[in-house]
Amino acid sequence: MPRLLIFSDLHNDTRALEKLMNVDADYYFCAGDLVTFRRGLDKMAEGLKMRAERMYVIPGNHESESDVEAMCKRCGFVNFHGATMNIGGVHVAGLGYSSPTPFNTPGEYSEEELASRLSKFADLNPLVLICHAPPLNSKLDRIREELHAGSSAVREFIEKHQPRDFFCGHIHEAEGVVEKFGSTRAQNVGKRGYLLEL
């Protein structure tokens, strides 16, 4: 039974990274924001190297696609941004970046761009979808009462296509939160991560 460890938003926290790398899994998926504003990628990459041949990375909003691509090439990780793979008959797909933020971070797409890139995954079934951005107006993107910062494109995709599982990060205040969207189990994994058994 393949085990996938999915985590996000470490923001240069080497201690949290060490804990994750000590978890035994068959695949490791970093759902973005290893660092803050692109600083310290080399140091965080060092921490990922012990699982290099099983490491799949998508950029958050604090890394650019080229940052992640260069790091993956250098360290032997897989750049999983916009990519898919099949694990034991289950499709796994990854898409990095967030919808626009007020902070002008390096990894942001318009909702139209997110929708366009997600559409490539529409026919994959069963699907485990890993994004940096959470669905808009959900428990997974809630910063505080009445303040949400997720993606409408991500929400529309989940509601329409009902992936088996959905994982995200981005909103630290919602770390660990789980919500159901129809038959989809969705979770904001945060830096503690989640171990999925397929």
| DSSP codes of every residue in 94-122 | EE--BS--TT--SSB--HHHHHHHHGGGT
- Look at residue 113 in the predicted model and tell me its pLDDT: 98
CA distance 18 to 34: 13
- Look at residue 108 in the predicted model and tell me its pLDDT: 98
> pLDDT (tens digit, 9 = 90+) per residue, 3-25?
999 999 999 999 999 999 999 99
Q: Which residue, among 50, 97, 96, 94, has the nearest Cα to 76 in the 3D structure?
A: 50
CA 113 to chain centroid, in Å, comes to: 17
- Strand pairing partners for 90? 87
Q: What is the CATH number of domain 3-197?
A: 3.60.21.10
Local confidence pLDDT in tens for the 198 residues of the chain: 999 999 999 999 999 999 999 999 999 999 999 999 999 999 999 999 999 999 999 999 999 999 999 999 999 999 999 999 999 999 999 999 999 999 999 999 999 999 999 999 999 999 999 999 999 999 999 999 989 999 999 999 999 999 999 999 999 999 999 999 999 999 999 999 999 999
- Strand pairing partners for 194? 6
- Peptide bond before 102: cis, by omega within 30 degrees of 0? no
Indicate the pTM of the whole model. Answer: 0.98
Tokens 């890394």, located at residue: 63
CA distance 60 to 151: 13
Q: Is 102 left (phi over 0), alpha (psi -120 to 50) or beta?
A: alpha
Q: Are the CB atoms for 149 and 141 separated by under 8 Å? A: yes
Query: Domain extents for the chain?
Result: 3-197
- What Å distances lie between residue 75 and 43, 44, 51, 155, CA to CA? 12, 11, 10, 33
CA distance 89 to 198: 9
